Amino acid sequence: MQKISLPERPDWRQTARDAGFTFADMHGEPYWEESSAYRFDLRQIEDDIEDPSTELHAMCREAVAAIIASERLMTRLGIPEAHHDLIADSWNRAEPEIYGRFDLAYDGKGPAKLLEYNADTPTSLYEAAAFQWQWLEDQLANGVLAEGSDQFNGIHEALVERFRELFPKGTDLHFTAAAGNPEDYATVEAMGWAAREAGMGAHYCDLDKIGISAEGQFLDGEDRVMETLFKLYPWEDLLQDDYASHIVGSGCMFLEPAWKAVLSNKGLLPVLWQMFEGHPNLLPAYFADDVADALVASGRADRAIADSFDRAADAMRRGHVVKPIFSREGASISIVENGEVSETSPNTDYDHHPRIVQAYHPLPEFDGFRPVIGAWIVGQNCVGMGVREDRSRITQDLSRFKPHFIAG
């Protein structure tokens, strides 16, 4: 893994505008940044990113079964009691999943470490699946990249195939996101593009235009019944809405399914550690309430996990990251080292949620920037990746997207 300086495509901003990639620059700063790119070799991609991510997803599905079998865990993950049955029924009926994105710490040498799983509403899909691939093709054509250079990127093709697997040709699908957010719209449009290529009818509706019929069905802005809805709207927010009481009985299939609410939740991390302690791609993690005394006063952790904490105590006291169970773009996250907060996110939007703690694992540093690998899951397999980097140790909404390529 190396960071290589490369000439930018002279017309990439016009290419972005032509493609509707309107957030390639945000707030006067580049979001898409191609003056350099990350280079990997094939072994790193296959052995360190692709195969472990597919395995992590399988482990996550085992964790879903364990969580749904436990009212106590469902409650700890912030699932409202009124919706426990909705989540369980969604899992027991095997409602289909489409996609997700693991965020991994990886330095090209040791095992990648799972930081979190964006299993419900991951964004950066368009730039990872399409604009990044366009960059590869252009730089190959320009002679900037050597012939034979490749990219770990089968995301769009996998999405097309996934829609074909799940729905008969001609099925009408609806897609929704909050109005006025270009990044969210780009992700939804990338999904719609894949669905159309798979032979589906794809209809977009702003989230605030969705209504309910007298029969309790969800309707789009043109009063069409929505039977299948891809929503770029987190389950944790949806379950707090008045609309949540209409989900059961609406006849609408949601993508992602309701059971993803327990995966796109940082409470997943301590559950995974309890189930797979010592796995090379996991970091020690605990619910904060269980280990608060043990972290700050050399006290004891909760009896149920005390033995596990004792095995990780030195690493946890040396450094850990405090994360709300619900959080987006690094908000309300703090790094604690040797008992002192050494870095914290300026965005405190999620401060009111319960927290977990995860052992601190430093990101590698290249030219003053710290990359995070986004490993994309479609269906149940890892099919591509993107890289975002930041000067901060906490990746946040304005962190830059960097292209990658495979050589060697």
DSSP string, 177-226: E-TT-HHHHHHHHHHHHHHHHTT-EEEEEEGGG-EE-TTS-EE-TTS-B-
Q: Are strands 228-231 and 172-177 parallel, antiparallel or unpaired?
A: parallel
pLDDT above 70 covers a percentage of the chain that reads: 100
- Tally of domains in the chain: 2
112 and 12, same structural domain?
yes
304 and 232, same structural domain?
no
pTM: 0.96
173 and 141, same structural domain?
yes
Query: Is residue 252 predicted with pLDDT exceeding 90?
Result: yes
pLDDT digits 0-9 by tens, 204-215 = 999 999 999 999
142 and 45, same structural domain?
yes
381 and 355, same structural domain?
no
349 and 401, same structural domain?
no
> For 213, how many CA atoms within 13 A lie in the half-sphere containing its CB?
16
Query: Is residue 398 predicted with pLDDT exceeding 90?
Result: no
User: For residue 343, what are the domain limits?
Assistant: 284-359
Average pLDDT over residues 72-93: 96
pLDDT digits 0-9 by tens, 308-317 = 999 999 999 9
Do you find a cis peptide bond into 147, omega within 30 degrees of 0?
no
Residue 29 placed within a domain: yes
d(CA 74, CA 87): 9
373 and 343, same structural domain?
no
pLDDT for 243: 86
155 and 48, same structural domain?
yes
Residue 149 three-state SS: coil
199 and 102, same structural domain?
yes
Among 228, 225, 234, 232, smallest CA distance to 253 is for 228
